[in-house]
Amino acid sequence: MIRLFKVKEKQKQLAENANGGPPTKKQSAGELRLHKDISELNLPKSCTISFPNGKDDLMNFEVSIRPDEGYYLGGLFVFSFQVSPVYPHEAPKVKCKTKVYHPNIDLEGNVCLNILREDWKPVLNINTVIYGLFHLFTEPNFEDPLNHDAAAVLRDNPKMFESNVRRAMAGGYVGQTYFSRCM
Amino acid sequence: MTDATTAPSRSRDLDKLLLRPGNLVGPIFDPGTQLREDLKEYVRILVVGAGGLGCELLKDLALSGFTNLEVIDMDRIEVSNLNRQFLFRLEDVGKPKAEVAAKRVMQRVSGVNIVPHFCRIEDKEIEFYNDFSIIVLGLDSIEARSYINSVACSFLEYDSDDNPRDITMKPMVDGGTEGFKGHARVILPGRTPCFECTIWLFPPQVKFPLCTLAETPRNAAHCIEYAHLIKWNEVHGGKAFDPDEPEHMKWVYNEAVKRAELFGIQGVTYSLTQGVVKNIIPAIASTNAVISAACALETLKIASGCSKTLSNYLTYNGVEGLHIKVTEFVRDKDCLVCGPGVLIELDTSVTLQKFIDLLEEHPRLLLSKASVTHRGKNLYMQAPPVLEEMTRSNLSLPLFELMGKATKDIVHVTGIENKDDKKTSCLRKLRVVFKGIDGIMDMDMAGGA
Ligand SMILES: [Zn+2]
């Protein structure tokens, strides 16, 4: 390609004042795929999405879930999503911003959901993840505990678990831990 | 008088390749001393990464007769690098890799000039990368490869028949090693598959379930990931973990050791901690040397045409015995990064709404309900409602204005394709050209050179 390189070097000297100019910003493949995911979102009524950095930053967004049944009925839970430039090769990073008493979500907001980690596949999408999160509230499970205490209570005493959830969502202590109101 | 073709020369062995015609040479090979001098004068090579592979690449390229090299790397030298990153000495620990590597190779190989860049690859303007004839990659991350690939492919232009214009092609030579395994590949954007065409070649990173880390760790990696992903946040609250910060890494290592003791698990070491957290498999000097040699030769072949290039992906496996295999992968014709996209000519008066309507009738697209994005700006989004609302007012504006009055540029659209009575959702690249604007004709002429 040496001939082309020579031509190009010579062009470079001439091109100083050429119009048009080089591209300034390019979108990563991950951003484009995310654009597709977002423009095709089909969320349940109880979920809403927002873009804190405006319409042009889709890589960071928030999803609010208001469960319409189960232990968490009436609560409002906000998740932050961070999407990598190599999405969907990598799963989005999801954290729960609302402090919640939940067997599969710890007090720092880490979420134990298989499709966010070990079972992520590039064919999955943002819609799948949101449905997965939604599901955690209608069917919390004690088999994948991230909050050990909450999982044990759910397993051994569902009635007590229910009242603990209500207390946490209303704003109050469960054991030593204080939860802010999220209803 | 001394004749350049017969005088003993430092490039004696190289001359055998560059000064004589042959049967296996590339299509436009033009042997002679002029070629040797042109390689020195006109070829500018960027080496991305100055780690194990990068050190080898700089040395090999300098010894292959290239004299204009630059290297970019954001890391500083650590003690643990010294076993294979042979350009570095103990007294260099803490200094930028790019700067020390450039200095050492210039000291050893006379006549070569290497410009170091101690920064992130994203810190450079896109145009910085356009200055090089060939980009050679010695990286260990998918993100970084994907980034450089998208930058290099963004220079590529196609003519009206969807043929790539060679003058805009930015060749890449990519090397990679993991322990006893490695690969070398040649990417000629528009002609051979780009990184994104074959991203599935990279196995997804192993991720352990968080609940396993929290409840039932079974090995050293589990303990390290627990400290990294769970314990760090618990103790440091909002402070982000930085894998390039040795203090952070040490903290994680110490926590992982405590965790391992608690569960009676063996094998947590500092280097394993680095490996797990940064997802790196330990490198071996000799594998780096093998892969770098292949990359340097391909770079020489691309530049000089002295032989046909690797077509297009070499894998080296020294785990059991030794296997080398070359696979010719094919391009993804619809690749969003290197593909031509669908050419669409428009008047400058066409509004975004009209453009979206046109896509539905376009015979190559038949795309309904299109959402449109241009260089990171979302011009129109069909969903979710919050974004539809924010972008709706654009519909009545001319696309030409929305695209910043660029005479031609790439836009991407998402929508429902209606082909053969089947509806599939798809994402397409479009090459939009506005008609009746001065300058377009001139720019297309450049391809003929
Ligand atoms: Zn491609």
Strands (E), chain A: 47-50, 60-65, 77-82, 93-96, 172-174, 177-179
What number is the average pLDDT over the span B227-251?
89
What number is the average pLDDT over the span B328-354?
93
Say if B349 is an interface residue toward chain A (CB within 8 Å): no
pLDDT over threshold 60, residue B302: yes
User: Predicted confidence band at A14 (pLDDT cuts at 50, 70, 90)?
Assistant: low
Interatomic CA distance for residues B154 and B168, integer angstroms: 9
Contact call for A106 and B337, based on CB within 8 A: no
pLDDT over threshold 90, residue B436: no
pLDDT at res. B344: 94
Task: Work out whether the CA dihedral B103, B105, B106, B107 comes out positive or negative.
Answer: positive
**Contact between residue B122 and residue B147 where contact means Cβ atoms under 8 Å apart:** yes
Tokens of A87: 């999405």
Structure letter (DSSP) for residue B82: T
Question: Model confidence over A60-106: pLDDT tens digits?
Answer: 999 999 999 999 999 999 999 999 999 999 999 999 999 999 999 99
Contact call for B215 and A91, based on CB within 8 A: no
pLDDT over threshold 50, residue A123: yes
Average model confidence (pLDDT) across chain B: 90
pLDDT at res. B243: 87
What number is the average pLDDT over the span B154-163?
91
Exposed e or buried b per residue across A57-85, where buried means at least 16 C-beta atoms within 10 angstroms of its C-beta: ebbebebebbbeeebbbebbbbbbbebbb
**Contact between residue A53 and residue B361 where contact means Cβ atoms under 8 Å apart:** no
What number is the average pLDDT over the span B242-246?
86
pLDDT at res. B323: 95
Question: Model confidence over B202-237: pLDDT tens digits?
Answer: 877 788 999 899 989 999 999 999 999 999 988 997
How many CB pairs (< 8 A) connect A and B? 182
Q: How would you classify residue B279: left for phi > 0, otherwise alpha for psi between -120 and 50, otherwise beta?
A: left
Give the 3-state DSSP-derived string for A68-92, with helices as H, strands as E and coil as C: CCCCCCCCCEEEEEECCCCCCCCCC
Put simply, the chain A residues between 69 and 128 with a CB less than 8 A from any chain B CB are 84-86, 89-91, 104, 106-112, 114, 117-118, 120, 122
Closest listed residue to residue B13, CA positions, set B290, B289, B300: B300
Question: Of B119, B153, B211, B426, which is the active-site residue?
Answer: B211
pLDDT over threshold 60, residue B447: no
Interatomic CA distance for residues B27 and B35, integer angstroms: 15
Contact call for A89 and B204, based on CB within 8 A: yes
User: Predicted confidence band at A18 (pLDDT cuts at 50, 70, 90)?
Assistant: very low
pLDDT over threshold 80, residue A25: no
pLDDT at res. B11: 77
Question: Model confidence over B168-186: pLDDT tens digits?
Answer: 999 999 999 999 999 999 9
User: Predicted confidence band at B1 (pLDDT cuts at 50, 70, 90)?
Assistant: very low
What number is the average pLDDT over the span B432-447?
60
Question: Model confidence over B346-361: pLDDT tens digits?
Answer: 999 999 999 999 999 9
pLDDT at res. B8: 56
pLDDT at res. B79: 86
Question: Model confidence over B74-107: pLDDT tens digits?
Answer: 999 988 888 888 999 999 999 999 999 999 999 9
Put simply, the chain B residues between 163 and 192 with a CB less than 8 A from any chain A CB are 166-167, 169, 171
What number is the average pLDDT over the span B24-31?
82
Q: B129 by DSSP, 3-state: which?
A: helix
Say if A20 is an interface residue toward chain B (CB within 8 Å): yes
- Report how far apart, in Å, the C-alpha atoms of A69 and of each of A46, A97, A102, A152, B104 are: 10, 21, 15, 22, 67
Put simply, the chain B residues between 384 and 403 with a CB less than 8 A from any chain A CB are 384, 386-387, 390-391
Cα diameter, chain B: 81
The shortest CB-CB distance from A2 to any of B208, B303, B376 is to B303
Say if A183 is an interface residue toward chain B (CB within 8 Å): no
Closest listed residue to residue B188, CA positions, set B149, B161, B158, B162: B149
**Contact between residue B116 and residue B70 where contact means Cβ atoms under 8 Å apart:** yes
pLDDT at res. B7: 52
Is B211 assigned a catalytic role?
Answer: yes
Report ipTM for this prediction.
Answer: 0.86
Question: Model confidence over B362-372: pLDDT tens digits?
Answer: 998 999 999 99
Cβ neighbour number for residue B420 with a 10 Å cutoff: 6
CA dihedral B437, B403, B373, A64 (to 10 degrees): -170
pLDDT at res. B444: 45
**Contact between residue B378 and residue B371 where contact means Cβ atoms under 8 Å apart:** yes
pTM over the 0.80 mark: yes
**B28 vs B63, which has greater pLDDT?**
B63
Contact call for A11 and B30, based on CB within 8 A: no
Say if B201 is an interface residue toward chain A (CB within 8 Å): no
